[in-house]
Structure 1
Amino acid sequence: MALSAVLVAFLLLPTLVLLARGITADFLPTLLSPVVTDALRVSVWTSGLSLLLTVLLGTPTAWLLSRRRFPGHALLETLLDLPITLPPVVAGVALLLTFGQSGVLGRPLELAGIRLAFSPAAVVLALLFTSAPYYIRTARAGFSAYDPDIEAAARVDGAGGAGVFWRVTLPLTLPFLLEGVVLAWARSLGEFGATILFAGSLQGQTRTIPLAIYSALESDLRPALVLSAIMVAFAFGLLLLVRVLTAQRRGG
């Protein structure tokens, strides 16, 4: 019991200290400062766009992996899960070698007038690369959690492919998909290593919340404390939402 109390105190104390230092009388003025508002704006729109791409591209990918078996299926699943275990810095190096100015695809893209590295688009790609596997993994579990015969029965009753998906598949897998969305969004908001290597840290353009915290630590501590407190509160909310979705899924 005493050992458990020590661990709980160790895990909770830094967070409580951070909140106490971050939520002070200077909280609102600092929150409205350009350093903080720019970081919030960049993080919201880049993570939102990344999340949209994740859902649009990841949903059919997860469905394919759960419904079809083909040569190399296990290898493809492993490769898609690989970014989850890769250090973020390694992910950034991989993106640079692929889409950077001298990268495999970067040079042809630059000849076409498209420059990705160290641009807002690079932030979106970095977030997509590091967060999409979380959604695909969860969505894949959702599509595999129910009997495909349910879809077959709906087709026998005359439902088309789109109708089966919207009226049968989506309602059955929705808790899984929502959980995957929350996990992917949480991962993208906390992304640091891949972003700073592939997109840089330009205020108002590529400097997300984690990059702004790191930058503020070298100059003015107040924005770092405020942004950190916001991230703690947001992370707590997302974790609570995941628990609710998981409970609903298990209850269903």
Structure 2
Amino acid sequence: MDLFPLWISLKTASVATIIVFLLGVFLAWTFSRRNFLGKTVVEALFLLPMVLPPTVVGFGLLYLFGRNAFLGNILSEFFGIQIVFTWYAVVLAAIVVSFPLMFQSAKAAFQQYDSNLERVAYTMGASRIRVFWTISLPLAWPGLLAGLVLTFARALGEFGATLMVAGFVPGVTETIPLAIYFAVESGDMATAGIWVTIISMVGFVALLWLNWWNKRSMQRFHK
């Protein structure tokens, strides 16, 4: 049995999770601490992929990064990068559909503790970077970790947007969800069942570990 779908899925989910975590934490911290004109509109745009059908998200990415699209032409002509029907498209789809989970989780995490702790540190001369690393990040870490795990699980299971913008190219864009779909289409129920079992176990283990870690953290907190 070809294990390429497992490798490409884990690789894609890992890369997408790292990018989404860094971007989501930065934006969530910024949005939870500052107010500006149009803030609610921008937040709604960030969360839009969460409520749209994945095929709609994929169509939007295809419209933006297709070979004849504006961004697609710029990347192709000036950087020699083609997005559509490549592994980059798989990562892009995973980033877009999983970003709302990380952003929402991170924003809630930064809002759950008393922000006066940060203001006190500022009055004592601490820089924003130092306050973030020594106060904000440690206090928000449980919520950030939950968002991290959910982001990985969502990126791992992405299907609709990936199929639209990356297509099904064996050995290139063949993630586990795509392998399941096309195995069923070809009548290979045994292979589809194996992939369903594998991806279900990976997701279950990730969520089980998160629950264990949260329970252990609460026990330490009450001691």
Kept in 2: contact 1:142–1:176 (CA 8 A): yes
Match for residue 148 of structure 1 among 112, 115, 121: 115
Match for residue 182 of structure 1 among 149, 157, 164: 149
Match for residue 37 of structure 2 among 67, 71, 85: 71
Structure 2 distance, partners of 1:111, 1:122, is 17
What SS is found at the alignment partner of 1:105? helix
Match for residue 54 of structure 1 among 20, 40, 43: 20
| Structure 1 position 230, deviation (Å) | 1.1
Q: Does residue 45 of the first structure (1) align with residue 15 of the second (2)? A: no
Distance 1:64 1:173, change over 3 A: same
Unaligned 5+ runs, structure 1: 1-32
Kept in 2: contact 1:43–1:208 (CA 8 A): yes
1:165-204 equivalences under 5 Å are 165-204=132-171
TM-score (norm 2): 0.91
CA RMSD of aligned residues (A): 1.8
| Structure 1 position 248, deviation (Å) | 6.7
Structure 2 distance, partners of 1:221, 1:101, is 35
Partner of 1:223: 191
Structure 2 distance, partners of 1:174, 1:163, is 16
Partner of 2:177: 210
| Structure 1 position 241, deviation (Å) | 3.6
Kept in 2: contact 1:51–1:181 (CA 8 A): yes
Unaligned 5+ runs, structure 2: none
| Structure 1 position 139, deviation (Å) | 0.1
| Structure 1 position 250, deviation (Å) | 7.4
Match for residue 84 of structure 2 among 108, 113, 117: 117
CA-to-aligned-CA distance 1:125-153 (integer Å, 9 cap, x gap): 00000001100000000111112210122
Kept in 2: contact 1:178–1:245 (CA 8 A): no
TM-score (norm 1): 0.81
Kept in 1: contact 2:12–2:156 (CA 8 A): no
Kept in 1: contact 2:50–2:100 (CA 8 A): yes
What SS is found at the alignment partner of 2:173? coil
Structure 2 distance, partners of 1:160, 1:45, is 36
Distance 1:62 1:245, change over 3 A: farther
207-216 vs 155-164, greater mean Cα deviation: 155-164
Partner of 2:207: 239
Structure 2 distance, partners of 1:177, 1:86, is 24
